[in-house]
Amino acid sequence: MQVGRFLVAGIAASVLFLILDMALGMAGGLVGTKVFGLSAAQPPGFEKKARLALVFEVINGFMLALIYALIHASLPGQGWVKGISYGLIVWGLRVVMWAFSTYMMTDMSPILIGINVVTGLVEVLILGVAIAVIYGAGG
């Protein structure tokens, strides 16, 4: 593992995670409220959890970069194509599995879950490509 490239990819993924979650969260929220008429009300305690989420985003960014560094040689393709492959794997294991369990265990609207599945796909594809390009740079 190239530690320097892993650290740079981890920092970039963490920053991207923060930006993408905000941007896609707002976009998904607009689609949910304007197109499907869902409520924009936040659950109690949202602000406290939102601050803690910032820490989790940094941890997630480094985790994604570390896992990529460990498995990149086995991913198909070269360069950014490896990032697409990685993003699809992460989407299936992170987002789709979350959607199934959320649907089964909560009363969250299926429309809202679907919006999260789509925005989650966009997010992890962008993250996967960014990590692949950064980690693959120079070697």
Predicted confidence band of residue 114 (pLDDT cuts 50, 70, 90): very high
Instruction: Say what the pLDDT of residue 53 is.
Output: 84
Domain range for 104 is 3-136
Pull the structure tokens for residue 139. Answer: 């070697």
Closest CA to 13 of 73, 93, 86, 74: 86
Pull the structure tokens for residue 132. Answer: 């692949």
Give pLDDT tens digits for 55-79: 999 999 999 999 999 999 999 999 9
What DSSP character marks residue 74? G
Amino acid at 17: F
Other residues' Cβ atoms within 10 Å of the Cβ of residue 68: 27
Task: Kindly report the average pLDDT of the chain as a whole number.
Answer: 91
Pull the structure tokens for residue 125. Answer: 């594809």
Average pLDDT over residues 115-138: 92
Instruction: Say what the pLDDT of residue 137 is.
Output: 66
pLDDT(118) > 90: yes
Q: At what angle do helices 97-105 and 110-136 cross, to 10 degrees?
A: 160
Count of domains for the chain: 1
d(CA 63, CA 30): 29
How many Cα neighbours within 13 Å face the side chain of 91? Answer: 20
Average pLDDT over residues 36-60: 83
Say what the pTM is.
0.88
Q: How far is CA 124 from the centre of its chain?
A: 4
